[in-house]
Structure 1
Amino acid sequence: MNTTTPRIAVIGAGPGGLTCARILQRHHIAVTVYDHEAGPHVRNQGGTLDLHEDNGQIALREAGLLDEFSRLSRPEGQEMRQLATDGTTLFHHTPAEGELFKPEIDRGVLRDLLLNSLRPGTVRWGHTLTSVEGRGARPRQLRFADGTAVEADLVIGADGAWSKVRRAVSPAVPRYTGISFLEARFHDVERRHPEIAALVGQGSAAAADGERGLFAQRNSGGHIRVYVIQRVAQDWITAAGLTLQDTDGIRALLVERFRDWSPALRRLLTDNDGRYVDRPINALPVPHTWDPDPAVTLLGDAAHLMPPLGVGVNLAMLDAAELALAVVHSDSVQDAVRTYEKTMVPRSHEIQKLLDDGAATLISAELPDFGADAHS
């Protein structure tokens, strides 16, 4: 920036927040990232994701990390199979040699890539934000659960679906979409679950009947994650008289609900290692907007939480790149926020509208349009 360097605080050390910090540092602008977790590896970061050439990879190029991403990613993860409920194959895409439109990378690997690119001490772990005070003024004061407080000239909310920063500019809260994911995990699949490994291949496999679906995805290190997708009430497990710890009871319920599916597909319900993980799908109202604030802005799920249809992290990283570059090339924080939101808000509105009720497509019995470049 052409004036005194502002104090910039990013809340959330996910892909979006870390990408923003990395690009700012590449342009010699100081930034601090605050995250509620005690450290970078206190929990599993989740499954795999595909970074698209037209958004996520653009952000990594601006971050100077595209070559390293290419080394770490799994292009073979672009393989995709659509199955009928009887187990027959309806569609099978095998990526061509050199196909790099959306290679897969594990979330944890991507996070480590971004974390390792930052200057030591950039991320302050164990800082749970409780409030952003001083609406409409600069600087803003950030208060944390441990009683500490800091001032910032720009507060960037990259803190996900249940963003605390969002509360400073918007009353909106995520709402349940009516679609729920139940995650099942499989480990050492080539040795312990060879049939499932063969069914899923190196990428993903999906099947649906209009009311329920299965989506299985290969992760690195011999792991597969399966998402059981259902149109159910949010409390469907307790309504059945079960708890999430009652693995056998949930398995029996799923077997009954998927009783007409092939035995090969039902293994994705029953042969998992360990407990299930309940993941109800929430989304922000469409469109989500807020009155501009000269010192606070949002990116990623904090700004435009949508159903998980392959765009969330990609958009968060593109948001992050555009915001960081707006800060670099603007004369003031307020100008940077205005420039960034002028592009980000309309784009996110358009995609929100396209994906509104998009979670329902995950259980549709109709074969998706995979694009003209896909092949059987």
Structure 2
Amino acid sequence: MPASPPRIAVIGGGPAGLTFARVLQRRGLPVTVHERDRDPAHRAQGGSLDLHRDTGQVALTAAGLLDEFFAASRPEGQALRLLDRAGTVLVDAPADPDDRFKPEIDRGELRALLLGSLEPGTVEWDRRLRTAVPLGDGRHRLEFTDGHTTTCDLLVGADGARSAVRPLLSDAEPEHSGVVFVEVVLTDVDRAHPEIAELIGHGMTFALDAGRGLLAQRGSGGVIRVHAAFRGPVDWGHRVERGALRAVLAEMFADFGPVLRDVLHRCEDSFTVRPITALPVGHRWEHRPGVTLLGDAAHLMSPFSGQGANLAMLDAAELAELIAAGGPLDEAVTAYEARMFPRAAEAAAEAAGGVEDCIGPDGPAHALVHFQAMTAGNPQHA
């Protein structure tokens, strides 16, 4: 008689958890994803992601979704600009419309693509993990806040920065980088804010000064998201009254150029404060049967690497394919962790350096050297 397939439970329905589930299902293995959101429309998914040819696109190939991704992606989103604080363009690297190295896709569109590829009922919504109780032999009993319980042979934590699964493997906690982002949004930019739309362009634009900057990204549907980035304590958002955020930011960037200042005056009333945190560079754990981590749960890093979602999806695809190849489940997990730890450490070190290079006292000079070197060579290596 053939052995029963392992019972695999995933905590978290982001890009990592959904990619993992999709690849397993393509290989004929059952899986359940437990997601804390009430439903797919419970909350906005945020801005845009660039999926790289050697990481995120490898995962989408394993998932059988690469063509669908290209159909939904925006190659023009690969464009890069560097401005000084006055708004003068220092470096302009437009995107080739046929370049498929790392085209952009909105996070919401990527999630919808992955969700639509899964078998009905794969994701159990409104399920927040309360505790995971070891039962021996790598099995765990999962207890959720709604009273639901289940058991599994493999527990996969794909539940992000504040992972509820991570404590089973590691005592590490995300540490504050010293940088705070405040995200603001402008909509209908081409009609309502044409000067801002022209300055930002179709991709990413960095306007930097010592220790601060405005980091803008064009999304689909006429949306631009801008992160006001600066040095501040982890609780900065609690020290400023919500209604005063616009005025505080306007004062902080008062010496930036008029179009850049307009971003903070004309943006929507919603302000999202995000202290930038990261797990220690080289974070790893001693292997434990029956549980492992993917993506930010395993190697949270600052966004300055540009690789977070890409590595998360590659983690997911590799672990799923190793499991599907057959053999002992624990050997597949061990092999995955051996691959993941060194590449995550390399990316995390790059991300930590990126914080200093971009939002440090010499940020503008470092960024100029980097952008000039990138545009002088192959943009694919940026």
How far the C-alpha of 1:136 sits from its partner, in A, is 5.7
Alignment of 1:212-227 (within 5 A): 212-227=212-227
Range with bigger deviation, 87-96 or 313-322: 87-96
SS at match of 2:370: coil
Where does residue 48 of structure 1 map in the other structure? 48
Give the distance between the partners of 1:318 and 1:237, measured in 2 at CA: 33
Q: Is the 8 A contact 2:84 2:208 kept in 1?
A: yes
SS at match of 1:294: coil
Where does residue 153 of structure 1 map in the other structure? 153
**Alignment equivalent of 2:264, drawn from 266, 269, 284:** 269
> Aligned-residue CA RMSD in angstroms?
1.5
Runs of 4+ deviating beyond 4 Å: none
Where does residue 319 of structure 2 map in the other structure? 323
In structure 1, the gaps of 5 or more residues are none
Where does residue 352 of structure 2 map in the other structure? 356
How far the C-alpha of 1:286 sits from its partner, in A, is 2.0
How far the C-alpha of 1:368 sits from its partner, in A, is 4.8
Where does residue 174 of structure 1 map in the other structure? 174
Alignment of 1:329-340 (within 5 A): 329-340=325-336
Where does residue 302 of structure 1 map in the other structure? 297
Letter in 2 for 1:53: R
Q: Is the 8 A contact 2:75 2:96 kept in 1?
A: no
Range with bigger deviation, 348-357 or 289-298: 348-357
Higher helix share: 2
SS at match of 2:303: coil
Range with bigger deviation, 79-88 or 17-26: 79-88
How far the C-alpha of 1:237 sits from its partner, in A, is 4.1
Q: Is the 8 A contact 1:13 1:123 kept in 2?
A: yes
Alignment of 1:49-128 (within 5 A): 49-128=49-128
The 3 A distance-change label for structure 1 pair 179 and 113 is same
Give the distance between the partners of 2:13 and 2:271, measured in 1 at CA: 26
Where does residue 24 of structure 1 map in the other structure? 24
Q: Identity of counterpart residues, as a percentage? A: 49
Give the distance between the partners of 1:127 and 1:88, measured in 2 at CA: 49
Q: Deviations over 1:15-74 (max 9, x none)?
A: 000000000000000000000111011100000110001100000001000000000000
Give the distance between the partners of 2:355 and 2:271, measured in 1 at CA: 20
SS at match of 2:364: coil
Give the distance between the partners of 1:33 and 1:238, measured in 2 at CA: 33
Where does residue 345 of structure 1 map in the other structure? 341
Give the distance between the partners of 1:159 and 1:193, measured in 2 at CA: 37
Alignment of 1:118-267 (within 5 A): 118-134=118-134, 137-239=137-239, 242-244=240-242, 246=243, 249-267=244-262
Where does residue 9 of structure 1 map in the other structure? 9
Give the distance between the partners of 1:359 and 1:132, measured in 2 at CA: 35
How far the C-alpha of 1:208 sits from its partner, in A, is 0.9
Q: Is the 8 A contact 1:78 1:94 kept in 2?
A: yes
How far the C-alpha of 1:139 sits from its partner, in A, is 1.6
Q: Deviations over 1:145-199 (max 9, x none)?
A: 0112110001111000000011111111111111000000001111111111111
Letter in 1 for 2:271: Y
Give the distance between the partners of 1:259 and 1:355, measured in 2 at CA: 28
The 3 A distance-change label for structure 1 pair 374 and 325 is closer
Q: Is the 8 A contact 2:184 2:272 kept in 1?
A: yes
Q: Deviations over 1:199-240 (max 9, x none)?
A: 11111211111210011111111111000000111223443x
Question: Is residue 285 from structure 1 mapped to residue 280 from structure 2 by the alignment?
Answer: yes
Q: Is the 8 A contact 1:179 1:360 kept in 2?
A: no
Q: Is the 8 A contact 1:84 1:207 kept in 2?
A: yes
How far the C-alpha of 1:4 sits from its partner, in A, is 3.0
How far the C-alpha of 1:360 sits from its partner, in A, is 2.8
Question: Is residue 311 from structure 1 mapped to residue 307 from structure 2 by the alignment?
Answer: yes
TM-score (norm 2): 0.93
Q: Deviations over 1:100-119 (max 9, x none)?
A: 11100000000000000000
Range with bigger deviation, 94-103 or 173-182: 94-103
In structure 2, the gaps of 5 or more residues are none
Number of aligned positions between the proteins: 369
Give the distance between the partners of 2:235 and 2:91, measured in 1 at CA: 34
Q: Is the 8 A contact 2:282 2:341 kept in 1?
A: no
Give the distance between the partners of 1:368 and 1:283, measured in 2 at CA: 25
TM-score (norm 1): 0.95
Give the distance between the partners of 1:202 and 1:355, measured in 2 at CA: 24
Range with bigger deviation, 58-67 or 133-142: 133-142
